[in-house]
Each structure stands twice: as C-alpha cells, then as structure tokens.
Structure 1
Amino acid sequence: MPTSEKAVRTDAGLASELRLSVMRLRRRLAAERDPSNPLSMGQMAVLGALYRVGEQSVGELAAHERVQPPSMTRTVSFLAEEGYVERRAHPTDGRQVMVALTDEGRAVLLADRARRDEWLARRLSRLSADERDALRKATPILQRLAQAD
C-alpha cells in the first residue's frame, strides 16, 4: 500500500494529505486564470462575493473575506477606481458604504471563472465515473470545511 494511502487512515494523516491536495489544486486553478485579467485572487474573491450575495457593505465584505475593514476599504477603493464595483450610500445608515458589482466586474469575473471551469472540466473528464461520483459526494463536505469557523 502506498505511503499516502496509509497516511489517510488517521485523521491527522487525512488532514495532511487533504491540505496538500487542496493547496496544489488551488495553485493550479490560480495558474489557469484568464491572462488578460489584472486582478489579484483577493480582488477576484471580492467580486465573487458580490456576485453570489449581491450588494454588501464594506464591513460585510471584510467579514466574509476574513480581512480587516481597512484592508477591504483599500481593495474596494481600487476596484471602484478601475470600474469593477461601485459604491453607494447605505439606504438607512449614512456611516456605511454599500458596494455593488458593475457590468465590467461581472464580465471579468465570469470570463475568469469560465476559463478555470473549462480547465477543471477537462481534467474531470479524464476521471472514471466512480471518481467523479466520489468528488460529487465530497464537494458539499469540502464546502462545509471551508465555511467552518
């Protein structure tokens, strides 16, 4: 039995193997980004959050991305200056700023996602039906792990 198969028999071994695999896949997916996209992965994450959830305050975005509000303010300022997001006054709280995705931001996000999804779909097509089924079952579990506090 290969070493990695032995390692995943324990929770610690599974954690180590899973961490390594997920990090390698993340790096590979990052490398498959649209080459004309000038945005960082952190900036793209903000566009993705706005696409999924809709308009949010800077504080909500910071909490969602697990960064400090001043850091998110800098990111939002850059994205707004470049036309990827727009800032609006909060409807009831004048101290807050709401952030919304622009058409330009949506287009960049969707083009980038399409390119990475195409790469991953090609790789998935090389797997057996049983392997793809195992990944379908693992995906919600991985999502829960990523969202856990």
Structure 2
Amino acid sequence: MNDRVDESPLPDQNSDHSAAASELRMATFRLARRLRAQRAIDTMSDGQFAVLAALTVHGAHTLGQLADRERVTAPSMNRTVSQLEEVGYLTRIPDEVDRRRVTIDLTDLGRRIVDETVRRRDAFVEEALAELSPEERQVLARATTIMRKVADR
C-alpha cells in the first residue's frame, strides 16, 4: 500500500489572476504612454491636459470642483490653472453674485488644443487597428466593453 502523498502544489487560481492582472496592467500602461505622447503641445504635462479635457467633457468648473475631479489639492490645481491661463488655454470668469468665486472655462485656443490632441490620439489608434486582422479587431472591440466595466467599478 502506498501512503505517500503527492506533494506537488495544486494550481493556484490566485496566481493565474495575478499574472493576468499584471500583464493587463503593463499592456494598458504601455498603450496609455503611447497615447499620451500623441498630443498637440509637446510641452504640456498630462495633468495640464487632463484639466483641459475635463473642462471639455464636463463644462466649466470652480477651482475646487476641478481639484476634486482631478484628485489634487486646491493649491496644486490653482498652479495648473494659472499656467494654462497664462498661455491662453483657459480663463477665469468671476461669479456675478459672489466676487470671491470664479469659474474656470476653456478659451477657443484651449478647445482647439484638446480637439487636435484627441484627433492625433484617435489617428494613432486607427492606424494601429488597420494593421490588425479582422479577428484581432473583433477581440479588441469586445475587450473595450470589458475594460470600461473594469474602469467604471
């Protein structure tokens, strides 16, 4: 009779998820870096562009609202807004009722910067998709929905 117990490790489902998570994270960050490089103004930081993009998508904000949206401190957001205002990408509009309060909004130039950056980023992805097989494009189309689900949790 053989009382010997097989000591080989059982497959660990967590390590499978861990490896997949790591691969997905690395691929996502690499693609994000490549996309961030496609911008209308090379000297603009990611944080500065994020402010312009937030104003484009969500409309005018107060400084505090922008800071909350971008998860930075109000003084940090004030510096970013001042830099963007200085080069003409956004403007501060005083509140008619409470003069201490201002609303931050895009200028036409700021809107053009966002539009051009989005155009370049979309073109980068379109070119990459054109090099893939129809099957690969279908997989990515399905993955888009899943990635959005993960990002929205």
TM-score category of the 2 structures, normalised to the smaller one: 0.7 to 0.9
Q: Deviations over 1:85-129 (max 9, x none)?
A: 111124555443211111000111111221121111100111122
* 1:128 counterpart = 2:139: no
Equivalent-residue separation in structure 2 for 1:93 and 1:131 (angstroms) = 55
Q: State the TM-score, normalized to the length of structure 1.
A: 0.82
Equivalent-residue separation in structure 2 for 1:10 and 1:45 (angstroms) = 34
Equivalent-residue separation in structure 1 for 2:66 and 2:97 (angstroms) = 18
* 1:19 counterpart = 2:25: yes
Answer with 63-72 or 132-141: which moved more.
Answer: 132-141
- Contact conserved, 1:37 with 1:112, CA < 8 A, in 2? no
Give RMSD over aligned pairs: 2.3
Alignment of 1:1-149 (within 5 A): 10-34=16-40, 36-90=41-95, 93-148=98-153
2:72 is paired with a residue whose SS is: coil
Structure 2 gaps of 5+ residues are: 1-12
Equivalent-residue separation in structure 1 for 2:96 and 2:52 (angstroms) = 21
| Cα displacement (A) at 1:32 | 2.8
Distance 1:130 1:96, change over 3 A: farther
Q: What amino acid sits opposite 2:38 in the alignment?
A: E
- Contact conserved, 2:95 with 2:103, CA < 8 A, in 1? yes
Number of matched residues? 141
- Contact conserved, 2:39 with 2:116, CA < 8 A, in 1? no
Equivalent-residue separation in structure 1 for 2:71 and 2:116 (angstroms) = 25
Equivalent-residue separation in structure 1 for 2:88 and 2:98 (angstroms) = 24
- Contact conserved, 1:8 with 1:14, CA < 8 A, in 2? no
- Contact conserved, 2:67 with 2:73, CA < 8 A, in 1? yes
Structure 1 gaps of 5+ residues are: 1-6
Q: Which has the larger radius of gyration?
A: 2
